[in-house]
Amino acid sequence: MSRNVTQSEPNPDNGELMNASAKWDSCKPPYTSQDIKICVTAAKTILLHSGKPRRSKYEKDSYLRIDFSKAGKVTFYAEFPKVMGLKGRKLGEWPEMAVQIARERASDMASEGLKAESVQQVITLYENDLAGKVTRGKLGQNSYETYCCRTRRVAESFSERTIFSDISYNDLINVLDMWVSSKSNNQAIELFAELRRLWKFGAPKFCNGRNVAASLPDDYISSRVQRPMPTRLYTDIESIAALWINVAACSSIHQKNAVRAMILTGVRPVNINNLSWDFVAEDLSEIVYPAGVMGMRGAMKTQKEFRLPVTVEMRQILEEQKAWRDSVPDCNKEYVFLQPRNPSMPFAKRSLDKLIKTYSPEDAVKGVKHAGTVKGSAGAFNTMCRKFLKSNVIIQMRARGFSRSDAREISQLCMHHSDRKDDPMGEHYDFSDEITQEEMKLKRIAFEAHEASIMAQVALIKRRG
């Protein structure tokens, strides 16, 4: 049975193919627009005969490749030898882009060393650089994780194929506008800062020093969103005393004592997690958080040594933790507070936040909430204990006859805050405290007064109950 074919693809005869090949071969670099027109016609015939999708012409001296498709489309690419370490990239299409312009751009890329790394690749290299700073002791692990959280959000704003050096000023403006409309005020501000740090890192190596992010107005985000103000929420001694009593119901001694230690010392949550037995004196008389030195980060946020006197209740907490440590053979012997479910690991910072929220009384948070409230927007918060210590130390010192300025200075010592305005070079030349130990004596008076006021309130609540 014969078959009838309604449509058939014409095949050029040998004469047409030879003629097309001759015209193709007659065009030599450097190519002109007339050469490209000739090659377009010739390529259609040649590709139709070979069945291949495309054919290319090269200008090796200009690092230019001209791609011809069987549909007659002409695309310019920059193509470099492997030894140059540069990736090829698309330049544009003819006739919208003239061959002279394509040739110049390819040559400029070769001379300037522009690379074709994507934004995602540069972010990965930036994160590796941050990890190196952690290894060298120049950046804390928690800070590294925070920065990486932000870089992941930045990466989501660019496609995987977006070339870092192709990003324009307007591209970044579009990203910022998207953040303003879709992110919280504080997150938009943080992502903007991270984007500028990323471009400062990547521009010298991957964009020939052209940092488009540096041209963005400093107030582009802050002028469009309300910057979150420091929270004005706080707590009082009745709530702190109730929290002290409530944590007795915790299922683990580590949970109870970690919260109570934070109430007594007012240290940041991270300094409960990183409290090591090496920081505690053998006689349990004081705790010394070490300072940062070259190649090693200190335990405190300020990177300076912090000596903390151990009060009666704090000593009892340390004794309980020491007894528990010595009775459990396979636990972590380095840290004072451990995870209840995994005693081989130090206590988790997020667990402290959950415990504070769970065991604080309902009316623990005082003050006025506003639209920009960050800490305290969901109830009790970790630094509530730290805020209370600052306020309570001032109250207790004033009650003991100290002047208002002296009480504030003592509270500053207890919080491990430094004031460099009065004497910016004092830390390098003033060693009077090492000689007299006056600072430690004042801190002991303050912490003992702070503890006594809390325990008196605890006793009062228990009598009422």
Domains of the chain: 14-112 (3.30.160.390), 119-215 (1.10.150), 237-464 (1.10.443.10)
pLDDT in tens, the chain (465 residues): 444 544 444 455 678 889 999 999 999 988 999 999 999 999 998 998 888 889 999 998 888 999 999 889 999 998 887 766 666 778 889 989 999 889 888 887 776 555 568 899 999 999 999 999 888 878 888 889 999 999 999 999 998 888 888 899 999 999 999 999 998 888 899 999 999 999 999 988 887 778 999 999 999 998 888 766 667 788 999 999 999 999 999 999 999 999 999 999 999 888 999 999 999 999 999 999 988 755 566 677 777 888 999 999 999 999 999 999 999 988 999 999 999 999 999 998 889 989 999 999 988 888 876 666 666 566 688 788 999 999 999 999 999 999 999 999 999 999 887 655 555 655 555 655 666 578 889 999 999 999 999 999 999 999 987
- The position carrying tokens 């303003």 is 180
Write the CB contacts of 366 (distance below 8 Å, at least 6 apart in sequence).
Answer: 233, 234, 235, 236, 239
Residues 443, 287: Cα–Cα separation, whole Å: 12
Residues 276, 335: Cα–Cα separation, whole Å: 4
Write the CB contacts of 22 (distance below 8 Å, at least 6 apart in sequence).
Answer: none
- What is the predicted pLDDT for the residue at 83? 61
Long-range pairs of 100-107 with CB within 8 A, sequence gap ≥ 24:
102/64, 102/66, 102/76, 103/30, 103/59, 103/62, 103/64, 105/78, 106/62, 106/63, 106/64, 106/76, 106/78, 106/79, 107/62, 107/63
Write phi, then psi, for 304 (nearest 5 degrees).
-110, 155
Residues 101, 196: Cα–Cα separation, whole Å: 31
- The pTM for the full model equals 0.62
Write out the two tokens for 450. Answer: 């702070």
In order, the DSSP letters of 281-309 are -TTSSEEEEPPPBTTB--SSTTSS-EEEE
N-terminal to C-terminal alpha carbon distance within the chain: 105
Residue 403, judged by CB atoms within 10 A of its CB (0-12, 13-18, 19+), counts as: exposed
What three-state secondary structure class fits 42?
A: helix
8 Å CB contact between 340 and 251: yes
Write the CB contacts of 138 (distance below 8 Å, at least 6 apart in sequence).
Answer: 297
Write the CB contacts of 299 (distance below 8 Å, at least 6 apart in sequence).
Answer: 271, 274, 276, 279, 289, 290, 306
From 141, 199, 188, select the one nearest 165 (Cα to Cα): 199
Strands, sheet with 89-94, edge to edge from the N-terminal-most edge strand = 54-59, 64-69, 74-78, 89-94
Question: How many other CB atoms sit within 10 Å of the CB of residue 73?
Answer: 13
- What is the predicted pLDDT for the residue at 410? 92
